[in-house]
């Protein structure tokens, strides 16, 4: 799993629909992997104003993948449902 939050989301979805959970996971994972090429294609996240590091977000359906780039490495910080409040320090 990309991170603990996506694992929790996966388990939540799996309770009602195991097939949808697997599809969700595969899509999220694939999109996160796509950040290895052109990670700067995504806009700065609203959370960027609250942190020293540059925070970007990739939007996938009802989820936002928050990430940062350090040198040539992309670090996934959080997978957040669009209903969740912005991440703050």
Number of structural domains found in the chain: 1
pLDDT recorded at residue 45: 96
Give me the CATH number covering residue 27.
3.30.2310
Taking each helix axis as running N to C, give the angle between helix 4-16 and helix 18-34, from 0 to 180 degrees, rounded to the nearest 10: 150
Residue 57 lies in a domain: yes
Residue 39 lies in a domain: yes
CA distance 21 to 89: 30
Residue 26 lies in a domain: yes
Residue 89 lies in a domain: no
Residue 8 lies in a domain: yes
**Structural domain containing residue 20:** 4-81
- What percentage of the chain exceeds 70 in pLDDT? 92
Torsion of CA 31, 34, 39, 42, to 10 degrees: -30
Query: In the block, which residue shows the tokens 């979805």?
Result: 13
Residue 51 lies in a domain: yes
pLDDT in tens, 16-49: 888 888 888 888 889 989 999 999 999 999 999 9
Region 5-16 average pLDDT: 76
Sign (positive or negative) of CA dihedral 80, 58, 53, 51: negative
Region 43-68 average pLDDT: 93
- Whether the pLDDT of residue 1 is over 50: the answer is no
Residue 31 lies in a domain: yes
Average pLDDT, the chain: 86
Q: How many CB atoms lie within 10 A of CB 39?
A: 16
pLDDT recorded at residue 38: 92
More confident residue, 9 or 40: 40
């Amino acid at each position: 799993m990309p991170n603990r939050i996506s694992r929790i989301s996966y388990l939540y979805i799996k309770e009602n629909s195991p097939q949808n959970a697997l599809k969700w996971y595969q899509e999220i994972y694939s999109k996160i992997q796509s950040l290895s090429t052109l990670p700067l294609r995504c806009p700065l996240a609203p959370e960027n104003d609250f942190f020293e590091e540059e925070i970007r977000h990739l939007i996938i359906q009802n989820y936002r993948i928050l990430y940062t780039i350090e040198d040539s490495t992309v670090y996934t910080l959080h997978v957040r449902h669009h209903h969740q409040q912005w991440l703050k320090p």
